[in-house]
Structure 1
Amino acid sequence: MNRKPKNIFVQGPISSEKIAQSIQNHSTKTNIGAHSIFLGQVRADEKEGSTVTAIEYTTYEEMALQKAFEIREAIFAKYDLTCMHIYHSLGEVKVGEICLFVFTSSKHRKMAIDACEELVERIKKELPVWGKELMENGESWKVNT
């Protein structure tokens, strides 16, 4: 297959409608036996006497899309997947809202689960996306762990 970089970015939070529609779009693909889904949600962390109210995500889009493409290709090469989708928020995402949606599909559950887990870890570690935590009384840059 000759794949091209896809735009993985969504302005603001990822809606439950987008998540539901993405799942529904696969119901006609009868060679899929399993989906594994990861949803990253913004937490109300306590930091230095203040509570996080939102995270503002920024990126250098061209670089990030190229890196996402490289990660996708590596995961497709390693795992026998039918489909793989990555959606990451840009801009402000409030506490309780979804900022990352990763979705892998394959014939068997172990392949989908293992691929999804590795994909999430690589995104968190390698994708050049930065989050500024907006707090009740200030802001600070988030460090991924």
Structure 2
Amino acid sequence: MQERKPKNIFVQGAISAGFIAESIQKHSTKTDIGAHSIFLGQVRADTLGNKQVIAIEYTTYQEMALEKMHEIREAIFAKYPLTCMHVHHSLGVIAAGEICLFVFTSSKHRKVAIDACEELVERIKQELPVWGKELFEDESHQWKKNT
């Protein structure tokens, strides 16, 4: 198996619909792909207590996070016969309604793409050292707890 280099998955700010569409379009020339699975994580305007979340500020220790992401990526590639895998995670302040995580897996068959995407998202949420600070409309904040 070919050794892959660690990739920088982090983008400053929200992930735009145009970026997502362009990523999908780039795969139209890859005729050995029969299925894609896509996960889009969006910031929710949760109400906690009497306060509404207006944004989440994402931070990370990039070197450690990219090392961990490379480990996750290699494990997913070893487990599933994927053609492609792309992960993009926002850093900075992302407003409610904006996309903060874009995961895209491709394979010859749909079940592989779907299962790999689902496991990849779960591992990112559980293992990747990325922290979110929920920002409220009253200018207060608290650290987000992943569920």
User: TM-score band, normalised by the shorter chain?
Assistant: over 0.9
Q: Determine whether 1:142 maps to 2:144.
A: yes
Q: Which amino acid aligns with 2:40?
A: L
**Structure 2 unaligned runs (5+)?**
none
Identity %: 76
Cα-to-partner distance string for 1:80-122 (whole Å, 9 max, x where unaligned): 0000000000000000000000000000000000000000000
TM-score by length of structure 1 reads: 0.99
1:1-145 aligned within 5 A: 1-137=2-138, 138-145=140-147
**Coordinate RMSD, CA, aligned:** 0.4
CA distance in 1 between partners of 2:10 and 2:42 (Å): 16
Q: Which amino acid aligns with 2:146?
A: N
Q: CA deviation at 1:48?
A: 1.7
CA distance in 2 between partners of 1:2 and 1:74 (Å): 12
SS state at 2:87 partner:
strand
CA distance in 1 between partners of 2:102 and 2:132 (Å): 16
Q: Which amino acid aligns with 2:59?
A: T
CA distance in 1 between partners of 2:17 and 2:70 (Å): 25
Q: Which amino acid aligns with 2:109?
A: H
CA distance in 1 between partners of 2:73 and 2:90 (Å): 17
CA distance in 2 between partners of 1:81 and 1:110 (Å): 11
TM-score by length of structure 2 reads: 0.98
Q: CA deviation at 1:2?
A: 1.8
Q: Which amino acid aligns with 1:119?
A: L
Structure 1 ranges of 4+ moved more than 2 A: none
